[in-house]
């Protein structure tokens, strides 16, 4: 869920110790994912601060959520239509 949180603008920290994938490397390079590799990193990299929840942040998250929801519903509708079902229980 780290990638999803980063996409929504939520601060993300990872303690994953395996081979890092290209997406995680990119998120780390642009500052959306912080890799924690040692106990020293816990004290130096993790910032505990209150985040102001302004209209911009909430509106962006809501827009992202709505986009994902619409895509899921459209895919479900398309799948129901292509399977020969006369009625879909999903609505857009």
pLDDT tens per residue across span 63-89: 778 888 888 898 888 888 887 655 545
Structure token digits, residue 12: 């993300």
When pLDDT is cut at 50, 70 and 90, the band that residue 40 belongs to is very high
pLDDT for residue 85: 56
Query: The pTM is what?
Result: 0.52
Which sign does the torsion angle of CA 23, 27, 33, 39 carry? positive
pLDDT for residue 33: 92
Residue 52 has pLDDT above 90, yes or no: no
Domain boundaries, the chain: 1-51, 52-92
Cβ contacts of 88 within 8 Å, gap of 6 or more: 76, 77, 80, 81
- 24-30 average pLDDT score: 90
């Amino acid at each position: 869920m780290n990638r999803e949180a980063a996409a929504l603008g939520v601060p993300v920290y990872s303690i994953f110790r395996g081979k890092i994938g290209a997406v995680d490397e990119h998120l780390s390079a642009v500052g959306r994912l912080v890799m924690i590799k040692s106990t020293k990193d816990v004290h130096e990299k993790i910032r505990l601060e209150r985040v102001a929840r302004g209209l911009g942040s909430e509106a962006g998250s809501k827009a992202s959520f709505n986009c994902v929801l619409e895509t899921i519903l459209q895919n479900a509708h398309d799948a129901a239509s292509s399977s020969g079902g006369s009625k879909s229980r999903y609505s857009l």
